[in-house]
Amino acid sequence: MNTIRPIGIIGYGKYVPERILTNADMEKMVETNDEWIVSRTGIRERHIAAPEQATSDLAYEAAVQALKTAGMSAEDLELIIVATITPDTFFPSTACILQDKLGAKKAAAFDLSAACSGFVYGMATANGMLQTGMYNNALVIGADALSRITDYTDRNTCVLFGDGAGAVVLGEVSPGRGFLSFDLGAEGSGGSLLKLEAGGSRLPASEETIQDKKHYIYMNGREVFKFAVRVMGTATEEVLRKAGKGKEDIDLFVPHQANIRIIQSAMQRLDLPEEKCVINVDKYANTSAASIPLALVEAAEEGRMKEGDTILLVGFGGGLTWGASVLVW
């Protein structure tokens, strides 16, 4: 990557709603059991937004914390990007709703849709805009309330998802630190493997779409699993190559938290010991765009990275999409 000025993470925050749904709770809702869920996915519980909480409310809590750790006030913000597939409304965007809640009057604001890869896509977008000098700082958030589009009578999907938000503030950092590379990609041909079919311009909401449960997530789990294992490997190799780094240089690996088996296959490919990998899928399940920042921020809060550490982020999701980044903390 041709670095014009080094951009990196200068603040971070996260939020998950209070209510927890455990595997035991799921057993009461659908025909499933803790043993199946843990052995197939690694998930033990997930956090669920309260009825009055929308995605912007989750994003707001994470944003306030991120601004605090950055030592910045909302009025200083120049750009807000919210990566989400569960916006409060189609429009106004969740980023605009958040801009108002924060009082970030100077900031441009828009949403970005790349499902679980959205946070990495968002950081890549902001990084480009900051490097060229178009803006000096950006708040990038991955936030989703998947519980709002989950069918809690479908055991194939309902055990997998949770709600949350993770936020970072990006700004100029000292030379040698910050983002070294990004690798973003899409395979639109696989879009129908993971989708929410109705409610858009193709199939507007109607009594029929509601009856047919087309406002809920549909997923072909097995096919998405294969895609995930493949691109976690290829994107990781590509983003390391672009950064001029090898797998032995990775100090911390922060993968999308969808399934422990997908994470383990990536760790094997990278020859990484467990202590170099952030895993919190057991506590939060798959939170879509929030998943990578929740893992990154939790690791930072636990003091798992020190200045100069090389961190690799990688995720995949609906679209189909993938996104990876190498950065120096």
Whether residue 277 lies in the annotated active site: no
Give the nearest distance from C-beta 50 to ligand UT7 in angstroms: 23
Asked whether position 36 contacts ligand UT7 by CB under 6 A, the answer is yes
Asked whether position 230 contacts ligand UT7 by CB under 6 A, the answer is no
Tell which one of 32, 136, 209, 264 touches ligand UT7 (CB under 6 A).
Answer: 32
CA distance 50 to 113: 23
Residue closer to ligand UT7 by CB (options 119, 135) is 119
Q: Which residue sits closest to ligand UT7, CB atoms considered? A: 221
Q: What is the CA radius of gyration of the chain?
A: 19
DSSP state of 25: H
Residues 46-105 that bind ligand UT7 (CB under 6 A): none
> Total binding residues for ligand UT7 by CB under 6 A?
20
CA distance 155 to 254: 27
Residue located via tokens 């672009």 = 242
Residue closer to ligand UT7 by CB (options 68, 215) is 215
**Active site residue: 116, 137, 259, 277, which one?**
116
Asked whether position 218 contacts ligand UT7 by CB under 6 A, the answer is no
Per the structure block, which two tokens stand in for 157? 């999907």
Asked whether position 259 contacts ligand UT7 by CB under 6 A, the answer is yes
Closest CA to 2 of 147, 167, 127: 127
Residue closer to ligand UT7 by CB (options 40, 269) is 40
Residues 152-171 that bind ligand UT7 (CB under 6 A): 155-156, 159
Tell which one of 18, 28, 188, 222 touches ligand UT7 (CB under 6 A).
Answer: 222
Give the nearest distance from C-beta 21 to ligand UT7 in angstroms: 13
Closest CA to 76 of 110, 109, 107: 107
Q: Are 125 and 83 in contact (CB under 8 A)?
A: no
CA distance 146 to 13: 20
Using the contact rule CB under 6 A, the part of the chain among 16-24, 33-41, 133-141, 183-191 near ligand UT7 is 33-41
Tell which one of 317, 322, 324, 329 touches ligand UT7 (CB under 6 A).
Answer: 317
Using the contact rule CB under 6 A, the part of the chain among 91-99, 127-135, 215-223, 305-313 near ligand UT7 is 215-223
Tell which one of 19, 40, 68, 215 touches ligand UT7 (CB under 6 A).
Answer: 40
Residue closer to ligand UT7 by CB (options 87, 318) is 318
Q: Are 245 and 253 in contact (CB under 8 A)?
A: no
Q: H or E element: which one contains 283?
A: helix 281-284
Residue closer to ligand UT7 by CB (options 129, 228) is 228
Closest CA to 317 of 119, 176, 67, 130: 119
Q: What's the 3-state SS for 55-92?
A: HHHHHHHHHHHHHHHHCCCHHHCCEEEEECCCCCCCCC
CB atoms within 10 A of CB 101: 15
Q: Rounded to the nearest 10 degrees, how much is the dihedral formed by the CA atoms of 113, 115, 117, 120?
A: 40
Active site residues: 116, 256, 286
- Which chain residues interact with ligand UT7 by CB under 6 A? 32, 36-37, 40-41, 116, 155-156, 159, 194, 219, 221-222, 224-225, 228, 258-259, 286, 317
